[in-house]
């Protein structure tokens, strides 16, 4: 079995400079993504979860170079993506696609749906004319729409349908890897379920790998093989799905899981309430970025000085906390 | 949930109808909705987008945006007085003082050119004969009560200087400063992160316990409903389709739509999530989409998507049948429970795209 | 894009104005410059022979107004085309330039904005004397492209950050195709709207300049100088002023109304599903207009 990961990210960093004053001098930086590293295997779904401002969307876009990373390496199928330029970068786009969160903004309102899906085929010279039309019809069918929908405009569809069109568009160029940037966050519960099922079916049928970006842990629980939790630009925990939900190690992950409302009235909740608000990524706290709000019983001065590395504390389970001991047996 | 201390009926909505001009005549966005809220109770109005829950809440304060209008024939009785027949002055004395609203988007609901302290103080001054200094003091006190640290300094800040969670707290402070009897919260935590949502829900529970106010909470998140509600109303296509105490609703939903919603919701506490060898369950979906308000099917509006529908559902519109004490469902299955067997043939063999 | 051809009344009005202007020589009963019977027909009130009356030079006012339409509307049209073209080029350059060049161009544009257009026109025309019509067009276009440049720049910048442009980039769409197939179709309607408003403004400016004697020179009839001819006699010979003024005002109003309607017609379409207002779907205003259905 081929065990080299399809995608390998090391030290990915993106700082947005802040310019102030008449001369627009750089006075600081928003450290949106700070030394993020992970792998995605073939056919796997890695979920990237976190709250707003944690940098997950920027990470997804930086991978695809829709936003230029400040530093780091991204290896896709052995190719260094960040070193590509011009035409070779454009050709690489075929293999790494993206589905956006906003089903209303991600489609050009003045282009028919069929034209939007076709564009990838035409631009990468995969098909044209009648053959391209046939493929568009096939894709529409695969995502649960009808071939005659191709002549319609985006505004004639509902949110869930537009999201399916976005997925069809991403699939048109037959990628190996798709970044799903909060694809179901803007949808109603019943529609969300349909789209999640669709994504899973497509993954199995085509052997796709996903980087599934979300803030909703419940959806992640139904999609992911492994989960990475981000906070203020850093990955603070990375584990297989079952391990993350059953035995979260990072205090932030525990708080996040306990905050999710469960549809069971009267369920006993041991809720961990984090004090205050997340700090701004312009001025992240020193040392461990989570320390001001961390409820860990062993928190001390070392937490304010040392940036905790993401270390393997249990097989396959990485945690960025200097107070969490490595264990082979999960602690309750 | 503890039973409400004061069980007299505070709000009595009867046959509320809100219409909008559509392409082919008037469309009923809210179609004959009736419910009550007792003092100290928390009632949740649940539904997906387009079901009319937001409009229902806006109607209570007569804030329906034109060209929509509330049709005559309905009544909104608040402490015995019909809000729909009050004149502007009387209505203004109710709004803010006895009934207050918390909106979904704190960024757009707060005035960007006034400090947050001023905005809360304004509410006080409009309704009571209070000096500026007293009103300011009340505003600062309220900010402290909603959990904002360093309230005197924060009160002087502008909305854009605050985070989403803080802005929502400010909105809550504005709503609660005059201790209204009823607070209407329209998706108050939807725009917030989950950890902040947990804080805000905790805050609402605390305040409700302390002030004994009634809370009408509008949401699409069944998890929030389970946490906060004592009674639940499920809305679909402008109507109430099920009404029950919260435990009964989750334990034995009678309307197939409610059943469908509960099954379609992904959960983190299901057994297979934590099982390393199990693949997550496929989510069970409700086929089809919500019908457009001007193209509702005859009979039961849910029948095209219902696994149990039979010919009666197309002929006859169901009313709210009694299922148990305080539990009603708008479904013929209540009268003919033997028909509750899903038939695979009538629904499409493959999921119809939503 | 225009699937339905249900034409609002205002558009008919506009089309007829254009038709009249183009076909003036066939419509006009008399030669606009012909002095027809110097004594008998001097300053005659409106009659069946002369529906708009005659002027101090015994010329038929109706014919003059019709020919004036040609001149004034034609002038405005030429000016607008030139100004829009220049503005689009400059705005695009500003949007696609490097950050530094972009800032430089932007500041230059800001300086240009601070120049009072009317004063400049008056100054130049006043000092240089009556100008050749073509020079006048260039001068007016040269002072009228600033707003378009900013409009185009803002629109391109806004579009570039829209998700569908990002999606196109992610699909590997090359830059030229991106501009042509994704950005330009949005600019088209925008420019049409800008053109309508610009026409209205230019007609007004030219009329004003000609009225002051600094614009189109007689004997070529332009609405502005027709009004000038009759200005002194307004109390006794009202027709010399009223008809040319109406002739000027109606196209201005029509152009403004057209601009409004175009802007609404080509706004991004309303979403499917719910036409019912909600916090995420605010209701749109309803302003009556010549161009509404």
Is residue B320 assigned to a domain?
Answer: yes
A300, two tokens: 């001390």
Higher pLDDT, A283 or B32: B32
Mean pLDDT of B31-43: 91
Higher pLDDT, C133 or C268: C133
pLDDT at B297 over 70: yes
Mean pLDDT of C139-165: 88
Please tell me the predicted confidence (pLDDT) of residue B342: 76
Asked if A93 and C172 come within 8 Å (Cβ–Cβ), the reply is yes
**Can you give the residue range of the structural domain that contains B121?**
108-179
pLDDT at B221 over 60: yes
Classify each residue of A193-226 as buried b or exposed e, where b means 16 or more C-beta atoms within 10 Å of its C-beta: bbbbbbbbebbeeeebbbbbbbbbbbbbbbbbbb
Neighbours of B8 (CB within 10 A): 10
Is residue B93 assigned to a domain?
Answer: no
Instruction: Nearest by CB to B65, from C273, C274, C277: name it.
Output: C277
Angle at which helices C117-128 and C184-211 cross, to 10° = 50
Please tell me the predicted confidence (pLDDT) of residue B28: 87
Is residue B6 assigned to a domain?
Answer: no
C173 in contact with A at a CB cutoff of 8 Å?
yes
pLDDT in tens, C13-41: 777 778 877 887 777 777 777 777 766 66
Please tell me the predicted confidence (pLDDT) of residue B29: 87
> Has this prediction a pTM greater than 0.90?
no
Lowest-confidence segment of A28-32, A209-213, A270-274, C123-127 by average pLDDT: A270-274
Please tell me the predicted confidence (pLDDT) of residue C24: 75
Is residue B40 assigned to a domain?
Answer: no
**B175 and B257, same structural domain?**
no
pLDDT at C284 over 50: no
Instruction: Nearest by CB to B266, from A194, A219, A267: name it.
Output: A219
Neighbours of B152 (CB within 10 A): 14
- How far, in Å, CA of C289 to CA of C293, rounded? 9
Share of chain C above pLDDT 90, in %: 9
pLDDT in tens, B246-288: 999 999 999 999 999 998 888 887 767 777 777 767 788 888 8
Asked if A189 and B261 come within 8 Å (Cβ–Cβ), the reply is yes
Q: Which residues lie below 8 Å from residue C83, measured CB to CB, with a gap of 6+?
A: C140, C141, C142, C144, C145, C148, C198
Count of domains forming chain B: 2
Tell me the shortest Cα–Cα distance from B302 to chain A, in angstroms.
14
Band of pLDDT at residue C8, cut at 50, 70 and 90: low
Band of pLDDT at residue A225, cut at 50, 70 and 90: very high
Please tell me the predicted confidence (pLDDT) of residue A268: 66
Average predicted confidence (pLDDT) for chain C: 79
Q: Which residues of A touch B266 (CB under 8 A)?
A: 192-193, 196, 216, 218-219, 221-222
Band of pLDDT at residue A19, cut at 50, 70 and 90: confident
Is residue B3 assigned to a domain?
Answer: no
Give the end of a domain, one of B179, B204, B237. B179
Asked if A189 and B224 come within 8 Å (Cβ–Cβ), the reply is no
Average predicted confidence (pLDDT) for chain A: 88
- How far, in Å, CA of A85 to CA of C40, rounded? 83
B202 in contact with A at a CB cutoff of 8 Å?
yes
Please tell me the predicted confidence (pLDDT) of residue B229: 92
pLDDT at A1 over 70: no
Please tell me the predicted confidence (pLDDT) of residue A329: 53
Is residue B324 assigned to a domain?
Answer: yes
Is residue B94 assigned to a domain?
Answer: no
Tell me the shortest Cα–Cα distance from A24 to chain C, in angstroms.
10
Q: Which residues of C touch B20 (CB under 8 A)?
A: 275-277
Lowest-confidence segment of A125-134, A258-267, B154-163 by average pLDDT: A258-267
B194 in contact with A at a CB cutoff of 8 Å?
yes
pLDDT in tens, A47-58: 999 988 888 999
Band of pLDDT at residue C100, cut at 50, 70 and 90: confident
Asked if B103 and C275 come within 8 Å (Cβ–Cβ), the reply is no
Give the end of a domain, one of B179, B209, B224. B179
Higher pLDDT, A247 or C240: A247
Q: Which residues of C touch B67 (CB under 8 A)?
A: 283, 286
Residues in chain C: 293
For strands B231-236 and B42-46, give the pairing. Answer: parallel
pLDDT at A330 over 60: no
Asked if A100 and C270 come within 8 Å (Cβ–Cβ), the reply is no
- How far, in Å, CA of B254 to CA of B337, rounded? 10
C178 in contact with A at a CB cutoff of 8 Å?
no
Higher pLDDT, B352 or B136: B136
Q: Which chains touch C (3 or more CB pairs under 8 A)?
A: A, B
Give the end of a domain, one of B127, B154, B179. B179
**B262 and B174, same structural domain?**
no
Please tell me the predicted confidence (pLDDT) of residue B257: 93
Is residue B230 assigned to a domain?
Answer: no
Tell me the shortest Cα–Cα distance from C281 to chain B, in angstroms.
11
Mean pLDDT of A202-216: 93
CA A279, A282, A286, A290 torsion-angle sign? positive
Q: Which residues of B touch C282 (CB under 8 A)?
A: 65
Asked if C283 and B104 come within 8 Å (Cβ–Cβ), the reply is no
């Amino acid at each position: 079995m081929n065990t080299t990961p399809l995608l390998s990210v090391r030290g990915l960093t993106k700082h947005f400079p802040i310019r102030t004053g008449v001369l627009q001098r750089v006075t600081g930086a928003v450290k949106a993504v700070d030394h993020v590293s992970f792998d995605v295997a073939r056919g796997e779904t890695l979920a990237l979860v976190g709250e707003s401002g944690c940098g997950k969307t920027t990470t997804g876009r930086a991978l695809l170079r829709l936003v230029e990373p400040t530093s780091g390496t991204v290896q896709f199928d052995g190719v260094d993506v960040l070193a590509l330029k011009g035409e070779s970068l454009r050709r690489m786009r075929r293999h790494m696609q993206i589905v956006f969160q906003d089903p209303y903004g991600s489609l050009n309102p003045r282009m028919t749906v069929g034209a939007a899906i076709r564009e990838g085929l035409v631009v990468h010279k995969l098909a044209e004319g009648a053959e391209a039309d046939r493929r568009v019809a096939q894709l529409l069918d695969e995502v649960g729409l009808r071939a005659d929908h191709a002549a319609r405009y985006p505004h004639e569809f509902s949110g869930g349908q537009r999201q399916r069109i976005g997925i069809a568009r991403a699939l048109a160029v037959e990628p190996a890897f798709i970044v799903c940037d909060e694809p179901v966050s803007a949808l109603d519960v019943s529609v969300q379920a349909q789209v999640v099922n669709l994504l899973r079916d497509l993954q199995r049928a085509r052997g796709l790998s996903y980087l599934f970006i979300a803030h909703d842990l419940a959806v992640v629980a139904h999609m992911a093989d492994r989960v990475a939790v981000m906070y203020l630009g850093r990955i603070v925990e990375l584990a297989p799905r079952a391990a993350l939900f059953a035995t979260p190690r990072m205090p932030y992950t525990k708080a996040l899981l306990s905050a999710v409302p469960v549809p069971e009235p009267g369920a006993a909740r041991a809720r961990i309430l984090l004090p205050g608000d997340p700090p701004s990524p312009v001025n992240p706290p020193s040392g461990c970025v989570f320390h001001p709000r961390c409820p860990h019983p062993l928190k001390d001065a070392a937490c304010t000085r040392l940036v905790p590395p993401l270390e393997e504390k249990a097989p396959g389970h990485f945690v960025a906390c200097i107070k969490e001991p490595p264990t082979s047996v999960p602690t309750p | 949930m503890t039973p409400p201390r004061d069980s007299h009926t505070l709000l009595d909505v009867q046959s509320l109808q809100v219409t909008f001009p559509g392409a082919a005549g008037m469309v009923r966005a809210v179609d004959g909705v009736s419910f009550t809220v007792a003092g100290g109770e928390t009632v949740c109005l649940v539904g997906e987008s387009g079901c009319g829950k937001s409009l229902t809440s806006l109607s209570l304060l007569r804030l329906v945006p034109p060209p929509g209008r509330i049709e005559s024939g309905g009544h909104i009785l608040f402490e015995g007085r019909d809000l729909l027949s009050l004149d502007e002055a009387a209505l203004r004395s109710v709004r803010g003082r006895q009934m207050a609203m918390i909106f979904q988007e704190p960024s757009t609901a707060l005035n960007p050119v006034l400090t947050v302290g001023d905005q809360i103080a304004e509410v006080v001054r409009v309704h009571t004969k209070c000096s500026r200094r007293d009103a300011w003091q009340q505003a600062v006190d309220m900010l402290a009560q909603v959990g904002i640290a360093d309230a005197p300094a924060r009160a002087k800040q502008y909305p854009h200087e605050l985070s989403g969670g803080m802005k929502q707290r400010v909105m809550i402070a504005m709503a609660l400063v005059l201790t209204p009897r009823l607070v209407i919260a329209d998706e108050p935590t939807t725009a917030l992160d989950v950890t902040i949502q947990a804080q805000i829900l905790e805050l609402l529970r605390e305040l409700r316990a302390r002030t004994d106010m009634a809370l009408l909470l509008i949401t699409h998140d069944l998890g929030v409903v389970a946490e906060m509600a004592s009674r639940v109303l499920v809305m679909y296509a402008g109507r109430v389709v099920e009404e029950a105490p919260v435990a009964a609703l989750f334990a034995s939903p009678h309307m197939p739509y409610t059943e469908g919603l509960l099954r379609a919701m992904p959960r983190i506490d299901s057994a297979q999530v934590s099982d390393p060898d199990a693949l997550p369950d496929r989510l069970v979906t409700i086929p089809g989409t919500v019908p457009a308000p001007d193209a509702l099917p005859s009979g039961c509006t849910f029948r095209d998507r219902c696994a149990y529908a039979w010919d009666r559902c197309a002929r006859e519109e169901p009313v709210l049948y009694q299922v148990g004490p305080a539990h009603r469902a708008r479904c013929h299955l209540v009268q003919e429970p033997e028909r509750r067997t899903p038939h695979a043939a009538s629904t499409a063999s493959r999921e119809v795209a939503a | 894009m225009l699937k339905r051809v249900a034409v609002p009344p205002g558009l008919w009005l506009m089309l007829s104005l254009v038709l009249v202007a183009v076909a003036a020589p066939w419509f006009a009963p008399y030669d606009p410059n012909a002095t027809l019977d110097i004594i008998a027909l001097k300053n005659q009130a409106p009659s069946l022979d002369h529906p708009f009356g005659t002027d101090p030079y015994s010329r038929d006012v109706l014919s003059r107004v019709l020919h004036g339409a040609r001149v004034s509307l034609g002038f405005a049209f030429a000016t607008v085309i030139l100004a829009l073209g220049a503005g689009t080029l400059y705005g695009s350059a500003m949007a696609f330039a490097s950050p530094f060049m972009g800032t430089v161009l932007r500041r230059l544009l800001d300086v240009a904005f601070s120049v009072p257009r009317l004063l400049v026109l008056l100054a130049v025309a006043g000092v240089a004397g009556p100008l050749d019509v073509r020079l006048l067009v260039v001068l007016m276009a040269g002072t009228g492209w600033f707003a378009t440049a900013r409009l185009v720049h803002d629109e391109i910048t806004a579009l570039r950050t829209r998700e569908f442009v990002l999606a196109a980039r992610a699909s590997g769409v090359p830059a030229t195709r991106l501009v042509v197939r994704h950005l330009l179709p949005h600019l088209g309607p925008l420019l049409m709207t800008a053109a309508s408003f610009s026409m209205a403004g230019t007609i007004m400016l030219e009329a004003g300049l000609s009225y002051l004697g600094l614009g189109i020179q007689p004997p070529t009839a332009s609405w502005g100088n027709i009004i000038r001819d009759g200005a002194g006699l307004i109390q006794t010979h009202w027709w010399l002023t009223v008809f040319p003024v109406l002739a000027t005002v109606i196209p201005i109003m029509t152009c403004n109304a057209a601009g409004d309607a175009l802007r609404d017609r080509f706004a991004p379409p309303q979403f499917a599903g719910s036409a019912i207002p909600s916090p995420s779907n605010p209701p749109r205003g309803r302003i009556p207009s010549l161009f509404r259905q």
